[in-house]
Structure 1
Amino acid sequence: MSWQLHAQLANDTRIAGDLPLSRVLVMNDRHYPWVILVPRVADIREIYELGAMEQQQLLQESSRLSMFLMERFQGDKMNVAALGNMVPQLHVHHIVRFKNDLAWPQPVWGKAPAEAYPESELSDFCSQLATGLKLQPAISSSI
């Protein structure tokens, strides 16, 4: 079976590009700098279901993304989570948190309705990620 991005993730995000393992998505919520990594591996729900090399690759990609986001936004905390309660496809949230953000110090989920980025800001954020992380253009949604 080929990999496909879950419809809910496709609906809530913009594709910034691809790392060797993961699709890089920007959550369309301007309240928080929020990026999601989705390993392009079919039928995976949990990190332990990835092969050992894929697990290491995901950790490297997550660390690289976290470092980039913290340097770019100068946040107070980086939240990294793979919950999957609503979307079963393995995906890892990376959310830069600030002591003065809407939800601090609580989790961001359910605190305020998402506020979409203006198109120019969303495109700029995706471009910054693509350049800063040296992303490849996204291959079609299935591979």
Structure 2
Amino acid sequence: MLTGLKAGFTLDSRLEADSEQLMWLGLCELRVMNDSRWPWLILVPQRPGAEEIHDMTPLDQAMLTFETNMVAQALKRTTGCTKINTGALGNIVRQLHVHVIARSEGDPGWPGPVWGHGMREPYERSGIRQFAQQIKAAL
């Protein structure tokens, strides 16, 4: 993570371990989940102590919605997926973060949720870089 850019903000260690930084948006750090089974992005609002969307100001809530929609549209264009799954669960990692996952009929676990399905399959280094570049270009 790029340190010192957002005063008082520290990324949860589990998010840092399971994903790679892609870029900074206006409110959020955009990350790629390191699981090659699904094209999977994570937005992390840079607000210390935020666990729920309603913990943020109305302006930050609007910005999060805007950035989530922008990322979802880019992911759908890039992957040609059937469905975009978007969720902010936070049952294990309490720090507010939003998952945006491209799903297609026939993918591992379709039509069920991605959580708890099999073992994570990390990207090859070149694969995660290629996916990151495609998303950056789409944004």
**TM-score, normalization by structure 1:** 0.90
Task: Describe how 1:121-140 pairs up with structure 2 within 5 A.
Answer: 121-133=127-139
Match of 2:79 in 1: 73
1:131 Cα deviation from its structure 2 partner = 3.2
| Mapped contact 1:15–1:126 kept (Cα < 8 A) | no
2:115 to 109, 112, 120: 109
Question: 2: distance between equivalents of 1:6 and 1:126?
Answer: 21
Match of 1:38 in 2: 44
1:55 to 57, 61, 75: 61
1:125 Cα deviation from its structure 2 partner = 1.5
1:128 Cα deviation from its structure 2 partner = 2.3
Secondary structure of the equivalent of 1:14?
A: strand
Question: 2: distance between equivalents of 1:58 and 1:40?
Answer: 10
Question: 2: distance between equivalents of 1:71 and 1:114?
Answer: 24
Match of 1:98 in 2: 104
| Mapped contact 2:78–2:135 kept (Cα < 8 A) | no
Question: 1: distance between equivalents of 2:103 and 2:134?
Answer: 19
Identity over aligned pairs, percent: 36
User: Which runs of 5 or more structure 1 residues have no equivalent in the other structure?
Assistant: 134-143
In structure 1, give the amino acid aligned to 2:86: V
**TM-score, normalization by structure 2:** 0.93
Report the number of matched residues: 133
Match of 2:33 in 1: 27
Question: 2: distance between equivalents of 1:14 and 1:106?
Answer: 25
| Mapped contact 2:29–2:44 kept (Cα < 8 A) | yes
Runs of 4+ in 1 over 4 A off after TM superposition: none
Q: Which has the higher contact order (CA 8 A, sep 6+)?
A: 1
